[in-house]
Amino acid sequence: MAISPPENKLWWKEPMSGIEITWVGIAFLWGLVMFGTMVGWHFVGKQNLSNETYRTTPDAFADKVEAMVERFQVREEGDTGVPVVHPTPGSDVYMLGRLWEWWPVLELEKDQTYRLHLSSTDWQHGFSLQPQNINIQVHPGYDFVLTITPDKAGEYAVVCNEFCGIGHHTMVGKIHVVDKK
């Protein structure tokens, strides 16, 4: 009985049966396989992008985003007049998550490579790029950098997929990929 102390106080020294050893071995090996897949998906999975992470502050990050908007804004979009920016191909581009929007709208060129910086100025948000199904957790104080080369023109939606309060379901953004050729 589990509720009474074991009669033999050295119960852990009792020999294991062969079948038990086999199962412990199988479980251990399976654990290694699962661990291996975590590493493996890093290279073969499309969802698990290799990103770089740097320390930042909400203010420092917001300054960089605003500087990019000031320099590269080409128009406004939607009822709320979200700025649309078209940065120089090959440059560093920024997208900011905050209650409750992904800001600003980016317009990128097809087959050009960008360093996409993501951060939050308040709390944790999720960057989910659809229909690509790329998912990144975004935290304040950290600058997540993805090196991306969009290979298909079109309109991509950014959806927040970490619950972040009453306006969570409205927290969306957009990336346009345009073909300049």
Q: What angle do CA 34, 37, 40 make, to 5 degrees?
A: 160
Retrieve residue 95's tokens.
């997208």
Alpha-carbon span 48 to 38, nearest angstrom: 9
CB of 78 to ligand CUA, least distance (A): 18
Q: Using the rule CB under 6 A, is 139 a contact of ligand CUA?
A: no
- Does 118 participate in binding ligand CUA (rule CB under 6 A)? no
Residue 160 as a binder of ligand CUA (CB under 6 A): the answer is yes
- Minimum Å gap between C-beta 158 and ligand CUA is 10
The residue range among 23-31, 86-94, 106-114, 155-163 that interacts with ligand CUA, by the rule CB under 6 A, is 155-163
| Angstrom distance (rounded) from CA 127 to CA 142 | 14
- Give the pairing of strands 114-120 and 92-98: parallel
Among 110, 168, 174, 176, which residue interacts with ligand CUA (rule: CB under 6 A)? Answer: 168
Strand partners, 92: 115
Q: How far is the CB of 140 from ligand CUA (least distance, A)?
A: 12
Contacts of 181 (CB under 8 A, 6+ apart): 110
CB 83 within 8 A of CB 150: no
What is the number of alpha carbons within 13 Å of residue 174 lying toward its C-beta? 16
Which one of the spans 57-65, 107-115, 146-154, 158-166 is the region binding ligand CUA (CB under 6 A)?
Answer: 158-166
Between CA 176 and CA 86 the distance in angstroms is: 9
Binding status of residue 164 toward ligand CUA by CB under 6 A: yes
Of 3-11, 55-63, 66-74, 160-168, which part binds ligand CUA (CB under 6 A)? Answer: 160-168
In angstroms, give the least distance from the CB of 176 to ligand CUA.
Answer: 21
Question: Interface with ligand CUA includes 163 (CB under 6 A)?
Answer: yes
Confirm or reject binding of residue 162 to ligand CUA (CB under 6 A).
Answer: yes
Q: Tell me which DSSP letter residue 137 carries.
A: E
Q: Which residues bind ligand CUA (CB under 6 A)?
A: 100, 125, 160, 162-164, 168, 171
